[in-house]
Amino acid sequence: MTYLITALEGLVTFISPCLLPMLPIYLSYMAGGSTQDKKHTTIKNALGFVIGFTITFITLGAFAGSIGMLLSRHQTAVNMISGLIVIIFGLSFLGIFNLSFFKGSDAGNRFTGKMHFFSAILFGIVFSVGWTPCVGAFLGSALMLASQQGSVLNGILLLLCYSLGLGIPFLLSAVLIEQLKGTLAWIKSHYNIINRICGILLIIIGLLMMTGLMNTLISALA
């Protein structure tokens, strides 16, 4: 259940207002200026990009899991603090207050040269670091869940699921960018509704974490 939640958080990150509008730009980087077999080049570089940000995110997951392991004796406090942070993220999505921390960076604009597979991996690593404030709400929620597990391995697996939730739609977009233009435009035109839904989901997750019901629910479904 926890793995499904983090995968869904990755998916919602993909359609967030600071990531989805930049998708055509990122895919143009992935094309690498190639005129021959452009689609193959785009898919290959998109895969490298996904591998790059996955490396960063699972490293963060391992760190969060190790911190949780050290704090396992204080699980109630960890639950309360983690849940409160996630609720704050949710309130920000609802527009109750503004967290200026969640702003995009110009990380993507620094790559203007021809893209290859290994440079795409580097691009993914830089993206994941530079765009952390922008995707911070759901990434932070995934990391809070990882810290509650008290296990490095579980922390890695949770952030791997988050990366898959973000990476699979990205790869599909690289394959089907022309066919998805209408869908992407519809999502952009409904960002206000999407943000409210995201905010409510984060608040619910935060409350479940604070009360310890998240662990109870996961155990019941296991």
Please tell me the predicted confidence (pLDDT) of residue 118.
86
Average pLDDT over residues 86-103: 71
Q: Decide: pTM greater than 0.85.
A: no
Tens-place pLDDT, residues 119-128: 888 888 887 7
Q: Which two tokens stand for residue 163?
A: 């990366």
Tens-place pLDDT, residues 187-210: 767 778 877 887 888 788 888 878
Q: Is the distance from CB of 9 to CB of 165 less than 8 angstroms?
A: yes
**Hey, which bits of the chain come out as E strands?**
none
Angle between helix axes 136-149 and 191-211 (nearest 10 degrees) is: 20
Please tell me the predicted confidence (pLDDT) of residue 132.
61
